[in-house]
Amino acid sequence: MSQEVKRVMVPWVEKYRPKNIDEVVYQEEAVNVLKQCLKGDDFPNLLFYGPPGTGKTSTILALAREMFQDQFSSRVLELNASDERGIAVIREKVKRFAQQTVSRSENGNKYPPFKIIVLDEADSMTQSAQACLRRIMEKETKSTRFCIICNYISRIIDPIVSRCSKFRFKPLQQDLVMEKLATICNSENISLENDVVLTELIKVSGGDLRKAITFLQTAYRLKGDEILTINDVREVTGYIPENWIDMFVEACQKQSYENVEDVLNSMVAEGFSGAQLLNQLHDWVLGENCLLTDEQISELIEALALADYRLLEGADEFLQTFNVASVFIQLLGKK
């Protein structure tokens, strides 16, 4: 019973996180250089960047665990976007931790003579907090190394970038993602209807292994020990069934704003998300059912990109999707 409870409670993303740096796949350049760094004392500040779910957080955690072993918790300070990270926090927490002195040995064991501060998701830090961080990095070089992690390196201020060794994490290849998911299915005794289930999972996760693992666990929670089907995957990922996309496109083709409004209202009532609709429309536009000219496609994609950006900024889903529909209607009218 307790075994059973545990199996469901632990997030698989944590459970299947690489335990050591050798388990990190596909990021050989970064891993090899970091292994070299492990051998010497001249450990640099690090900057990891690249798409979500490619192993950045896992790599630094594994590296730090290898370096500090039982002293991990006292030598590593981890801050991520869920922590407040304005100037005040940088000043207080980071500075206080950076200033604690560390010795080379503890209880007779030898450790590197520094601590590590991991700033995960650093691209969401304000510019002024980054400027503050830069000064701390300068002052505390003797006792502290920083590992800055982000998706977009362009959002990190230059003086920080230039103080770090940079490592780009590449998007994981599909077969590696597939392999990892298959291993998890195996260990958790999940039976799949067929291989297409995993392919679909990878498709909807867009190469983000973390997302794929989380979806898999959600689907498993939904179905328990029953066989997992492609529809289960679609259900947990919020995938909008094709016939809804067809209805939306038909309404636009009919040049009917009323029809579009009806379809969108029904979609909202069903609980489908506007962002997901934009994603699937994007696939539709690039798929073989789309009869638009190249010029029309580029205009529609621009409208989709703009709506996507506005949604991220908090705009209204209905209005944004309706706006995309009206661009679509106009383009079809011009034919």
171 touching ligand ATP, by CB under 6 A: no
Cα 258 to the center of its chain, rounded Å: 37
Burial label, 71 (beta-carbon count in 10 A; 0-12, 13-18, 19+): middle
Residue nearest to Mg ion (CB): 57
Site string for Mg ion, 40-79 (x = CB under 5 A): -----------------x----------------------
Q: Kindly tell me which of 54 and 296 has the beta carbon lying closer to ligand ATP.
A: 54
Size of the site for ligand ATP (CB under 6 A): 21
Task: Locate all alpha helices (DSSP H) within the chain, ordered by sequence.
Answer: 2-9, 12-15, 28-39, 56-68, 72-75, 87-89, 95-99, 127-139, 158-161, 174-187, 196-205, 209-223, 230-237, 242-253, 257-270, 274-286, 294-312, 317-334
Using the rule CB under 6 A, which residue among 122, 209, 304, 325 binds ligand ATP?
209
Q: How far is the CB of 146 from ligand ATP (least distance, A)?
A: 16
Site string for ligand ATP, 21-40 (x = CB under 6 A): ---xxxx-------------
- Identify which of residues 85 and 210 has a Cβ nearer to ligand ATP in the complex: 210
Closest to ligand ATP by CB, 55 vs 112, is: 55
For residues 41-100, which are near ligand ATP according to CB under 6 A?
52-58
Please say whether the beta carbons of 68 and 76 come within 8 A: yes
The answer to whether residues 300 and 327 touch, using CB atoms and an 8 Å cutoff, is yes
Task: Give the C-alpha distances (Å, rounded to integers) separating 326 from 253, 272, 282.
Answer: 11, 20, 15
Instruction: Write down the least CB distance from residue 166 to ligand ATP, Å.
Output: 15
209 binds, among Mg ion, ligand ATP, none (CB under 5 to 8 A by kind): ligand ATP
Question: 57 or 144, CB closer to Mg ion?
Answer: 57
Q: Contact between 151 and ligand ATP (CB under 6 A)?
A: yes
Pairing mode of beta strands 115-119, 76-79? parallel
**Burial bucket for residue 22 (CB in 10 Å: 0-12, 13-18, 19+):** exposed
- Residue 192 in contact with residue 212, Cβ under 8 Å? no
What is the contact surface with ligand ATP in residues (CB under 6 A)? 13, 16-18, 24-27, 52-58, 151, 169, 172, 209-210, 213
What is the contact surface with Mg ion in residues (CB under 5 A)? 57
